[in-house]
Amino acid sequence: MKKAFELFWSFFKIGAFTLGGGYAMLSMVEKAVVDQKKWIPNDEFWDMIAVVQPLPGVFAVNTALYVGHRVAGTKGAFAAMLGAIIPSIVIILLLATVFHEYRNQPVVERIFKGIRPCVVALILAPSLRMIKSAKVTWKTAIIPVATVLLIWKFPGKTAYVILAAIVGSLIYAVIINRRETARLRDCETPQSPEVPKSRSQNKKEAKS
Amino acid sequence: MIYLQLLWVFVKIGLLGFGGGYAMLSLIQHEVVDHYQWIKTSSEFADMVAISQMTPGPISINLATYVGYTQAGIGGALLASFALCLPSIVMVYFILKLIMNKKGDTLMANTLKGLKPAIAGLIFAAGLSMMNLQNFPDFGRGQYNISVFICVLAFVASYFFKANPILLIVISGVIGFIAY
């Protein structure tokens, strides 16, 4: 119970003081969990982050849940998650009530008139950076273009578009994985020891 | 009814929100502004994004809390942010139970490789749909387009120089205060 409370407090401080979202939080989590409390060894911590990273949802919440569970079980998971999100919720609620009252003040309106085009730019810039980092070629450029067109043509059906993209990517990944395992099998020397497969692995292979 | 809708929308976003805060932000925009029209104007949504960005904590949690608050008060705020976390809770539980093996890891990484361009498209679409007269009120009126100037400036600073988004919001606010 004490550990759960310590987890809550560590993540509470991180949640209250990190601006700029999940990745800014990461080094603070490392400092608290690995360096100060020594709950998790450094290499294991980064292995855990690698597992959490591709998951959907809020990165900070996923990290808090996973780290919390590793340190203090289910109780720890919930303590860390609540610690990470409670400061956000409280601060935004306070601000929202104040902002809704002063929203129509001319001074506030002037400031936000300047901010709005900046927000548009802040949304466009990471999407283009993502295209760059995903190494989109002229051939694969069809994917982002088709996504934009589908979302534009079917407003409110965005979830289905993303779902279709997930299914498509999964099929692609299964094909790539098969090709890679086939290549690895070809390279393998006959005397290499056979690793016994677990049942769950066999089941997965049967599915794909 | 509104509680059920909030729950459904944000569970969906938590589940489909691959690729970080901006991906979820665009999903929220598509659901909340385009589909359900809880937030009536694009400019109001832009204001909410700016506030969510400037306050500490994950931007998607901030935005979910804010949207929930505008629809159903404090109860709605708590429900929306909880709903956003719900898929994560289930997922982390299952990953711990099933134990991520090497094979599952590479499958996930390869899936994400294919998904990334689509997510970029999703975010780009959200940005495009916010390019309207509500957010650019002086577009096509007079010879000075302050809003276009701010947008281009912020884009260049963000895309090429990776400028801090909070700093950019503050600077844009100051420019708006002086110029309008």
What is the spatial distance between Cα B3 and Cα A78, in angstroms, rounded to a whole number? 23
What is the model's pLDDT at position B164? Answer: 87
Does the residue B18 lie in any domain?
yes
Does the residue B114 lie in any domain?
no
Does the residue A178 lie in any domain?
yes
pLDDT over 60 at A194, yes or no: no
**Model pTM?**
0.84
Indicate whether A78 and A156 sit together in one domain.
no
Sorted by sequence, the CB contacts under 8 Å of residue B110 that are 6+ apart come out as A169, A172, A173, A176, A177
Indicate whether A80 and A142 sit together in one domain.
no
Please tell me the total count of domains within chain B.
Answer: 1
Does the residue B151 lie in any domain?
no
Does the residue B11 lie in any domain?
yes
Average pLDDT, chain B: 89
What is the spatial distance between Cα B179 and Cα A25, in angstroms, rounded to a whole number? 35
What is the model's pLDDT at position B103? Answer: 63
Does the residue A192 lie in any domain?
no
Q: Kindly state the percentage of chain A with pLDDT values over 90.
A: 43
**What ipTM was reported for this prediction?**
0.88
DSSP line for chain B:
-HHHHHHHHHHHHHHH--SSHHHHHHHHHIIIIIIS-SS--HHHHHHHHHHHHHSSS-HHHHHHHHHHHHHHHHHHHHHHHHHHHHHHHHHHHHHHHH---HHHHHHHHHHHHHHHHHHHHHHHHHHHHT-STTT-TTTTSSS--HHHHHHHHHHHHHHHH---HHHHHHHHHHHHHHH-
Indicate whether A12 and A51 sit together in one domain.
yes
Q: How far does the CA of residue A20 sit from the closest CA of chain B (Å)?
A: 7
What is the spatial distance between Cα A9 and Cα A4, in angstroms, rounded to a whole number? 9
* Domain span holding position B75: 2-101
For an interface test with A, give the residue of B92, B145, B162, B174 to mutate (most A CBs within 10 A): B92
Indicate whether A22 and A87 sit together in one domain.
yes
Please tell me the total count of domains within chain A.
Answer: 3
Indicate whether A83 and A152 sit together in one domain.
no
Which residue in A has a C-alpha nearest to residue B129's C-alpha? A152
Chain A contact present for B72, CB below 8 A: no
In this predicted model, what pLDDT tens digit does every residue of A144-172 receive, in sequence order? 999 999 988 887 788 899 999 999 998 98
Indicate whether A123 and A42 sit together in one domain.
no
Does the residue A61 lie in any domain?
yes
Q: Is B137 exposed, middle or buried (0-12, 13-18, 19+ CB in 10 A)?
A: middle
In this predicted model, what pLDDT tens digit does every residue of A73-132 receive, in sequence order? 999 999 999 999 999 999 999 998 888 888 889 999 999 999 999 999 999 998 998 888
What is the model's pLDDT at position A184? Answer: 79
Does the residue B136 lie in any domain?
no
* Domain span holding position A159: 137-187+199-208
What is the model's pLDDT at position A22? Answer: 62
In this predicted model, what pLDDT tens digit does every residue of B66-88 receive, in sequence order? 999 999 999 999 999 999 999 99
pLDDT-derived band at A208, boundaries 50, 70, 90: very low
Indicate whether A60 and A8 sit together in one domain.
yes
Does the residue B130 lie in any domain?
no
Between B72 and B112, residue with greater pLDDT = B72
pLDDT-derived band at A200, boundaries 50, 70, 90: very low
Q: How far does the CA of residue B90 sit from the closest CA of chain A (Å)?
A: 10
Which residue in B has a C-alpha nearest to residue A19's C-alpha? B56
Does the residue A23 lie in any domain?
yes
Residues of chain A contacting B72 with CB distance shorter than 8 Å: none
Indicate whether A16 and A70 sit together in one domain.
yes
Indicate whether A85 and A157 sit together in one domain.
no
Indicate whether A97 and A87 sit together in one domain.
yes
Between A185 and A38, residue with greater pLDDT = A38
Residues of chain A contacting B180 with CB distance shorter than 8 Å: 110, 113-114
What is the model's pLDDT at position A205? Answer: 45
Chain A contact present for B145, CB below 8 A: no
